[in-house]
Amino acid sequence: CGVYLCTFSGVEDELELSAVRHRPEGLEQLEAQTRFSRKELQILYRGFKNECPSGVVNEETFKDIYSQFFPQGDASTYAHFLFNAFDTDHNGSVSFEDFVMGLSILLRGTVQEKLNWAFNLYDINKDGYITKEEMLDIMKAIYDMMGKCTYPVLKEETPRQHVEVFFQKMDKNKDGVVTIDEFIDCCQNDENIMRSMHLFENVL
Amino acid sequence: MAAGVAAWLPFARAAAIGWMPVANLPMPVAPTEKNKRQDELIILNVSGRRFQTWRNTLDRYPDTLLGSSEKEFFYNEETKEYFFDRDPDVFRSVLNFYRTGKLHYPRYECISSYDEELAFFGIVPEIIGDCCYEEYKDRKRENAERLMDDQEDNKDAKLPNMTFRETMWRAFENPHTSTMALVFYYVTGFFIAVSVITNVVETVPCGSAPNQKEVPCGERYTVAFFCMDTACVMIFTVEYLMRLFAAPSRYRFMRSVMSIIDVVAILPYYIGLVMTDNEDVSGAFVTLRVFRVFRIFKFSRHSQGLRILGYTLKSCASELGFLLFSLTMAIIIFATVMFYAEKGSSSSKFTSIPASFWYTIVTMTTLGYGDMVPKTIAGKIFGSICSLSGVLVIALPVPVIVSNFSRIYHQNQRADKRRAQKKARLARIRISKTGSSSAFLHSKRNGLFNEALELTNSTEDEQRLSKSTSLLESQHHHLLHCLEKTTNHEFVDEQYYQQSYLEAGLQNYPSRSPSLSSQDGVTGTCCTRRSKKHHTPLPNASAPAHMQPLTHTHTHPQGLQELSTIHIQPLSTSRSSLNMRVDEPAPLNCQSSQITTAIISIPTPPVTTPEGDAHLPAGPTHQNVVKVSAL
């Protein structure tokens, strides 16, 4: 496992974790657990360590980094959901292992795994069902990233309508929630979605 | 996008998988990485010192020397390294910029050599990080001031077409510019001195007949003094009027301190001319002559030091005020004490408390005239306490004022600097944000434009193909494009957004005449989607004849507003061409999932402003009035 080193600064005010250092597992283990080659892991780690010298990403840094890719809008809400999706052990920080596992699924996984991951992202409370409220939150977060200068002008009910369309498509038994099977089924029948799943395969 | 997070772009793109099940539209094709190379180390030899870094690190900034193909010019075949004959110390900062995304300015480095190195490597100094930016700007300003001082000596070159008025003003402000100005400068100075001396000498008693009492010179040689006074005032009046004439902003000139001094200096003379030989006001007249001494302040135009002193006092006003206040307190206290102490003694000069003020002031400032002296023991005791404390009270505030002055002065400078820098810093952040978003829009325009060109087989303007963006940029743009497709909205720039926002607001009036608002135009052209093959022939200004107002009102459901249509327009179409296809009775079949490429061209607002039909035939504009949509 990774090695955690915490040092505490002065006794005065609060107990401050002044430095947390996390070293990832060895290269061989990661190579075995993910579908990346050694070289790819090296490249990934160098980039990771550059932005997060302490070895872990906390939510603030995550939001910061993700927001840099979307200058027009506000990417923080979506980054929050993303962070929860990557932080598989829910300890509030994303280590390099979590990061690389997530990427391995997204870039090198089977379609089933990718859809699984997407379902996990949408299911905010991780109870196995996507409700309309959860979907609405996600949708609003995505639309937030567009910002305000869009064409056509973004309206209040646009995310809601989009959620309706989504549910119409996905919720086969019309019970108001989307389960994992309905989701995967429906996505596999949709040509567009299947094609887009293979879009980023050559990213690294 | 900061290059520091360039390494996270693969992550951002991977995370985009999260949008895919939600999107209703197909995604754009990902940019392919042609000749993808394994990341390799490259060696940069700078005057013998070898630096090594990854190629990818340098590729983060493709518009600098090291990030572009320009560095190939420096490639040394034999040693397989890039050789630069530059300063290795400064190069360290340059290379760190690529690594960390932040440019730092080392303090020990000379500002001009640093600037030269940055210019050589194609790095704009404005991106210096906040930690070093202040220092950099300070040094740069100092350097610029030094250069300006050197330049000012040879600034005598007269600009060719300055009006007479401007020449005069310049002559007044800088006496060194021409000989005439210098002569004028010295003449006025001379006359100010003459005037002041006259005022002084006027009161000196001149010798006279022994039997008469001494008469001041002013009364003895009245005529002579009067003539001298008149001459001086003439000169001053002429000078004032000339300045008034030459001033670029007369109102501002009249409000300035110097001109007020000028006026006050010459006014008594004229007032005296007006009311002569009137016994009642002669007393007032005499006091008016006091104001003549203000002429001495006219010297401050001639002396830089006087001006600085004036500014010092003005800026130190509060400190001086406080000093005065504390002194007044002390004076009142001691005067009271002395008065009551000396009350008992007979023939005491301390007749009242105000009378004791004089004693207190004289004692506290250690003058000690001796005209008022305490006689009682208590009085003497308190008197000595007064004089001792006087030394402290006077000596203490002076250094405080001096240090206060320098502190306030520097503080003002720093506050102004910080305010200016804050504005600059926010502007920089805003610029970089809009830069990246406008880069996206620009490349979208060009990228889709290229595809459209292929579709329309048009050979015009092929040279408008933009130069290829770096792989990083194209991947980033692809990511943003995916987001657009997911949400079925597009990014537009601020201008266009405000435009369409206004129009959307105006759309609410159904009774509006069927003018070509952009919304109408959009949904109108949705009927022409099928006709993408046969693009309209280039209509020109004669087209207005065909122009029919849009008669069919668009009762599209709300949702359709989001689906704009694709319409490929060849170049140089006017809006009227949009009209021409409108009357096709094509059902609105905008739901098909065929993507036809589109060109976004952000038209300038005047063109797209919905105006009455009469305004439209303004000639073929060279704008691509194309609306993009994703269908």
What are the residue boundaries of the structural domains of chain A, listed by start? 26-109, 111-203
Say if residue B333 is in the same domain as residue B374: yes
3 state SS of B440: helix
Q: Does the pLDDT value for residue B313 go beyond 60?
A: yes
Nearest to B630 by CA among B595, B587, B588: B595
Distance CA B547, CA B610 (A): 15
- Highest-confidence range of A7-16, B354-363, B409-418, by mean pLDDT? B354-363
Which pLDDT band holds residue B461 (cuts at 50, 70, 90)? Answer: very low
Say if residue B334 is in the same domain as residue B374: yes
Say if the Cβ atoms of A107 and B14 lie within 8 Å: yes
Position B595 scores a pLDDT of 36
Q: How many CB pairs under 8 A join A and B?
A: 159
Q: Return the DSSP state at B155.
A: -
- Whichever domain contains B71, its CATH number is 3.30.710.10
> Of the ranges A131-135, B115-119, B414-418, B474-478, which one carries the lowest mean pLDDT score?
B414-418
Say if the Cβ atoms of B11 and A69 lie within 8 Å: no
Among B6, B18, B490, select the one facing A118 at the smallest CB separation: B18
Nearest to B263 by CA among B237, B228, B230: B237
Answer yes or no: CATH 2.40.160.40 is held by domain A26-109: no
Stretch A59-86: mean pLDDT: 88
Q: Does the pLDDT value for residue B585 go beyond 60?
A: no
Position B511 scores a pLDDT of 42
Say if the Cβ atoms of B4 and A115 lie within 8 Å: no
3 state SS of B216: strand
Among A121, A143, A151, select the one facing B496 at the smallest CB separation: A151
Say if the Cβ atoms of A203 and B437 lie within 8 Å: no
**Both structure tokens of A146:** 């567009």
Q: Would you tell me which residues 550-579 of chain B have a C-beta closer than 8 angstroms to some C-beta of chain A?
A: 559, 561-562, 564
Give me the residue label for tokens 């030459």.
Answer: B246
Position A109 scores a pLDDT of 86
**Both structure tokens of A121:** 């992202």
Query: Which residue in chain B is spatially nearest to A106 when comparing CA positions?
Result: B14
Position B554 scores a pLDDT of 39
Please indicate whether residue B591 or residue B161 has the higher confidence score (pLDDT): B161
Position B573 scores a pLDDT of 38
Q: With contact defined as beta carbons under 8 Å apart, do B573 and B538 qualify?
A: yes
- The pair phi, psi for residue A116, each rounded to 5°, is -60, -45
Please indicate whether residue B260 or residue B288 has the higher confidence score (pLDDT): B260
Position B273 scores a pLDDT of 79
Q: Chain A: nearest CA to B10, how far in angstroms?
A: 6
Distance CA B421, CA B135 (A): 12
Say if the Cβ atoms of A192 and B2 lie within 8 Å: no
How many residues are there in chain A?
A: 204
Q: Does the pLDDT value for residue B190 go beyond 50?
A: yes
Among B21, B30, B484, select the one facing A118 at the smallest CB separation: B21
Stretch B450-458: mean pLDDT: 57
Say if residue B180 is in the same domain as residue B275: yes
Query: Which residue in chain A is spatially nearest to B9 when comparing CA positions?
Result: A69
Last residue of a domain, one of B154, B183, B218: B154
Position A4 scores a pLDDT of 45
Which pLDDT band holds residue A153 (cuts at 50, 70, 90)? Answer: confident
Q: Does the pLDDT value for residue A91 go beyond 50?
A: yes
Which pLDDT band holds residue B469 (cuts at 50, 70, 90)? Answer: low
Say if the Cβ atoms of A114 and B38 lie within 8 Å: no
Query: Which residue in chain B is spatially nearest to A63 when comparing CA positions?
Result: B12
> Would an 8 Å CB–CB cutoff place B429 in contact with chain A?
no
Q: Does the pLDDT value for residue A47 go beyond 70?
A: yes
Please indicate whether residue B575 or residue A48 has the higher confidence score (pLDDT): A48
Structural domain containing residue B188: 174-302
- Whichever domain contains B239, its CATH number is 1.20.120.350
Q: Do domains A26-109 and A111-203 have the same CATH topology?
A: yes
What is the DSSP pairing of strand B81-84 with strand B490-491? unpaired
For B511-557, write each residue's pLDDT tens digit.
Answer: 444 433 333 333 333 343 443 444 344 434 343 333 333 333 333 34
Distance CA B48, CA B228 (A): 79
With respect to residue B408, please indicate whether it lies within any of the assigned structural domains.
Answer: yes
**Both structure tokens of A158:** 């646009």
When divided into structural domains, chain B yields a total of 3
Stretch B275-303: mean pLDDT: 74
Position B381 scores a pLDDT of 94
Say if residue B194 is in the same domain as residue B93: no
Among A146, A152, A165, select the one facing B24 at the smallest CB separation: A165
Say if residue B90 is in the same domain as residue B124: yes
Residues of A in contact with B561 (CB under 8 A): 152
Distance CA A184, CA A119 (A): 9
Position B102 scores a pLDDT of 87
Stretch B571-597: mean pLDDT: 39
Please indicate whether residue B589 or residue B356 has the higher confidence score (pLDDT): B356
> Would an 8 Å CB–CB cutoff place B15 in contact with chain A?
yes
Say if residue B81 is in the same domain as residue B147: yes
Among A142, A183, A199, select the one facing B487 at the smallest CB separation: A142
Which pLDDT band holds residue B598 (cuts at 50, 70, 90)? Answer: very low
Which pLDDT band holds residue B249 (cuts at 50, 70, 90)? Answer: confident
Say if the Cβ atoms of B4 and A43 lie within 8 Å: no
Q: Does the pLDDT value for residue B329 go beyond 80?
A: yes
Say if residue B117 is in the same domain as residue B227: no
Query: Which residue in chain A is spatially nearest to B100 when comparing CA positions?
Result: A50
With respect to residue B235, please indicate whether it lies within any of the assigned structural domains.
Answer: yes
For B58-91, write each residue's pLDDT tens digit.
Answer: 888 888 888 888 888 888 888 889 998 889 999 9
> Of the ranges A173-187, B35-49, B438-452, which one carries the lowest mean pLDDT score?
B438-452
Please indicate whether residue A188 or residue B468 has the higher confidence score (pLDDT): A188
Q: Does the pLDDT value for residue B110 go beyond 80?
A: yes
Last residue of a domain, one of B259, B277, B302: B302
Say if residue B355 is in the same domain as residue B291: no
Which pLDDT band holds residue B214 (cuts at 50, 70, 90)? Answer: confident
Q: What is the mean pLDDT of chain B?
A: 72
Say if residue B321 is in the same domain as residue B246: no
Q: Does the pLDDT value for residue B447 go beyond 60?
A: yes
User: Which site among A200, A202, A204 would you substitute to test the B interface, given the most B Cβ atoms closer than 10 Å to its Cβ?
Assistant: A200
Nearest to B234 by CA among B196, B203, B195, B202: B195
Position B498 scores a pLDDT of 75
> Of the ranges A180-194, B40-54, B188-202, B479-493, which one carries the lowest mean pLDDT score?
B479-493
Say if residue B248 is in the same domain as residue B275: yes
Query: Which residue in chain B is spatially nearest to A200 when comparing CA positions?
Result: B14
A111-203: CATH architecture: Orthogonal Bundle (1.10)
Say if residue B64 is in the same domain as residue B103: yes
With respect to residue B568, please indicate whether it lies within any of the assigned structural domains.
Answer: no
DSSP letters of B490-539? EE--HHHHHHHHHHHHHTT-TTS-----HHHHHHHHGGGGGGGSSPPP--
Last residue of a domain, one of B397, B419, B441: B419
- Whichever domain contains B362, its CATH number is 1.10.287.70
Q: Is the dihedral of CA B241, B243, B246, B248 positive or negative?
A: negative
Residues of A in contact with B9 (CB under 8 A): 69
3 state SS of B153: coil
Residues of B in contact with A96 (CB under 8 A): none
> Of the ranges B26-40, B60-74, B576-590, which one carries the lowest mean pLDDT score?
B576-590
Q: Would you tell me which residues 568-627 of chain B have a C-beta closer than 8 angstroms to some C-beta of chain A?
A: 593
Among B25, B436, B492, select the one facing A149 at the smallest CB separation: B492
> Would an 8 Å CB–CB cutoff place B508 in contact with chain A?
no
Which pLDDT band holds residue B150 (cuts at 50, 70, 90)? Answer: low
Q: Would you tell me which residues 131-190 of chain B have a C-beta closer than 8 angstroms to some C-beta of chain A?
A: none
Say if residue B290 is in the same domain as residue B344: no
Please indicate whether residue B228 or residue B470 has the higher confidence score (pLDDT): B228
Position A72 scores a pLDDT of 84
b/e code B126-145 from CB counts within 10 Å (16+ = b) = ebbeeebbeebbebbeeeee
